């Protein structure tokens, strides 16, 4: 009797369930973190509703959640909320884009050129210590209170963390990576694009996320002080008219939009740094 080929007699290979297990583990971790984070805001909401119902605080000072929800619905139906949100979003996109470009250029220059860092970093350090509000009076005299003022201040708020993280990320690239590239006789451009920038990308992207957070905060601050449109203006206008329901609704929108923007950047980070999970 002839022996059958090994391919016919070999037992079937066991199914690899590691990917399924890792997917289930990630899913349960995300679910657990969601349920663990849920009780605190729900508790605050219940306490708020109870305080409004029992009259612990005057409704003119702390309107009920039902009143805020009704105002929020009214602002959506009238289009006022979306109009102001669109204006704020365009401002932060422009300012953040300028801040990203400037921060990356400065960070790369300081990270790659020790001479440039020695000359420029002390000035940059002093510049970064002045908060956004510190520049507001001077810039109001130079550029007025139009859109240029808001874009400049938002860009400044985003530029500082992006430049610092980019510079630190490039500076902290392990020396052994550069040594291997030299052994392989990489050119300068190959060293930059295949070694330095990929290794420095995680801290650089952290700087971008921090920059967005700072830009969004600066947007609200600028609109609170020097604007007649936007979410920050809605907060000021509601306070002036003692419409605290409008103030709370605008504050909630500011928090939700800022959180969603950071989550979008976090998803982009997963895509950009996906090669790290593959063991490259």
Q: What is the pLDDT of residue 211?
A: 95
Q: What is the pLDDT of residue 10?
A: 46
Q: What is the pLDDT of residue 32?
A: 64
Say whether pLDDT at 181 is over 90.
no
Q: What is the pLDDT of residue 34?
A: 64
Superfamily of the domain at 64-273: MetI-like (1.10.3720.10)
Q: What is the pLDDT of residue 175?
A: 87
Q: What is the pLDDT of residue 280?
A: 45
The overall average pLDDT reported for the chain is 84
Rounded to 10 degrees, the C-alpha dihedral 208/213/219/225 comes to -130
* Average pLDDT for 119-146: 87
- Span 188-214, pLDDT tens digits: 888 888 889 989 999 999 999 999 999
In the chain, where the domains are located: 64-273
Q: What is the pLDDT of residue 224?
A: 85
Region of 4 (left: φ > 0; alpha: ψ -120 to 50; beta: rest) is beta
pTM of the model: 0.80
- Span 73-117, pLDDT tens digits: 999 999 899 999 999 999 999 999 999 999 999 999 999 998 999
Region of 230 (left: φ > 0; alpha: ψ -120 to 50; beta: rest) is left
């Amino acid at each position: 009797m002839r022996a059958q080929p090994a391919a016919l007699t070999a037992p079937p290979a066991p199914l690899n369930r590691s990917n399924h297990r890792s997917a289930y583990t990630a899913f349960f971790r995300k679910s657990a973190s969601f349920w663990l984070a849920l009780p605190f805001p729900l508790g605050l909401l219940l306490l708020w509703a109870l305080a409004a119902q029992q009259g612990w605080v005057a409704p003119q000072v702390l309107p009920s959640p039902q009143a805020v929800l009704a105002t929020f619905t009214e602002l959506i139906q009238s289009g006022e909320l979306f109009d102001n949100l669109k204006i704020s979003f365009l401002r932060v996109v422009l300012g953040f884009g300028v801040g990203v470009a400037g921060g990356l250029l400065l960070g790369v220059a300081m990270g790659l050129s020790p001479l440039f860092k020695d000359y420029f970093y002390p000035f940059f350090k002093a510049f970064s210590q002045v908060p956004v509000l510190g520049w507001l009076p001077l810039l109001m005299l130079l550029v007025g209170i139009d859109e240029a003022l808001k874009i400049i201040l938002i860009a400044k708020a985003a530029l500082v963390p992006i430049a610092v993280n980019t510079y630190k990320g490039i500076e902290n690239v392990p020396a052994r990576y550069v040594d291997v590239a030299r052994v392989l006789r990489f050119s300068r451009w190959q060293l930059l694009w295949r070694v330095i920038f990929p290794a420095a990308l995680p801290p650089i992207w952290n700087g971008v996320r921090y920059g967005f957070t700072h830009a969004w905060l600066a947007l609200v601050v600028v609109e609170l002080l020097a604007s007649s449109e936007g979410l920050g203006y809605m907060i000021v206008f509601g306070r002036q008219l003692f419409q605290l329901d409008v103030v709370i609704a605008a504050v909630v929108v500011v928090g939700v939009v800022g959180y969603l923007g950071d989550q979008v950047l976090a998803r982009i980070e997963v895509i950009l740094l996906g090669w790290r999970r593959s063991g490259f």
